[in-house]
Amino acid sequence: MRPRSLKVRFGPAGLHVFDRITGFNVLVDEIAVPREQWAVCPRYVSLALTNACDLDCPYCYAPKHPAALDVWRVIDWLDVLDGNGCLGVGFGGGEPTLYRELAVLCKYAAQRTGLAVTLTTHGHRLSDSLLASLSGNVHLLRVSMDGVGSVYEELRHRPFAALRNRLESLRAVARFGINYVVNRRTLSDLDAAIELAADAGAVEFLLLPEQATNTGGGIDNGTAEALRRWVSLYRGKVPLTVSEAGSEGLPICNPLGRENGLRAYAFISASGVLKRSSFDDGGVPINEHGLIGALDVLRAQYREE
């Protein structure tokens, strides 16, 4: 029996009701929830199913050494997350469509747990058969689209027309959004990208100011300031969101401000290491003490309550 779409989470911010089908949230912050009833797990957890990717984007943060998560370990973690207050999981990579058991995991999470299922992909391997296997088992597809036309093709070395045509097939499968890395090359394409997202029926546009990696220095100050001006003037129909790592200086609304750090988010690498974010060098391997044990150790390292 498929779990209901509504899920309730208790935390320091109050009682949080979430509908994974529509993405609708209600926070009852008048309720003071006792600490012993706070959810143990973060609201949202991202899992890099594999480091493998068939693209080579210059600003990619994903490790280049081969690694992939065991499907049965992931299924166990999904049960733990679902039973301890997590609202949603995001499958990514690398490129998750290269992970052989992707459809199995999405189906399990959607039909055997109450977790919202998000999938982040470059979109070029979303064949009709794969989309059919994901239909009803993914609640939000996130498609990476950094720049449009020739800028996109220069950075991702794939035909932009192929991506644009694939976007037209997504609405029949799930709600979808656009992930957009913002740097000096992609900034000037923001208006065209948001127009395309609106025409294609995207439900959100996620801004990802480029983060520093071993191969790139991240967004420069001038581009960051120009992005802030662009956001302040934005009046489009597609809602904007921004990554927590790149939110500094941007106007954001966070009704769950009391639930930050590892109460809000965690990342599991393709090597099975729990981290505060995908950009962290450190982390805690998930070993025989399980996911909750690793979470306790990581919280202690960063002196989080």
Residue pLDDT, tens place only, 224-267: 999 999 999 999 999 999 988 888 888 888 888 889 999 999 99
Give SS3 for 289: coil
Please name the residue ranges forming H helices in the chain.
Answer: 71-83, 102-112, 128-134, 149-156, 160-170, 190-200, 221-233, 290-301
From the list 65, 81, 85, 83, the residue with the least C-alpha distance to 73 is: 81
Q: Cα separation of 53 and 106, whole Å?
A: 19
Give SS3 for 286: coil
State phi, psi for 117 to the nearest 5 degrees: -115, 120
- Superfamily of chain region 6-301: Aldolase class I (3.20.20.70)
Q: Cα separation of 277 and 244, whole Å?
A: 10
User: Is residue 160 a contact partner of residue 152, using CB atoms and an 8 Å limit?
Assistant: yes
Q: Break the chain into its structural domains and give their ranges.
A: 6-301
Q: Give residue 169's pLDDT band: very low, low, confident or very high (50, 70, 90).
A: confident
Residue pLDDT, tens place only, 280-297: 989 999 999 999 999 999
Cβ-count burial of 253 within 10 angstroms (0-12 exposed, 13-18 middle, 19+ buried)?
exposed
Residue pLDDT, tens place only, 126-145: 999 999 999 999 999 999 99
Question: 185 CB contacts (<8 Å, ≥6 apart)?
Answer: 147, 151, 154, 155
Share of the chain above pLDDT 90, in %: 84
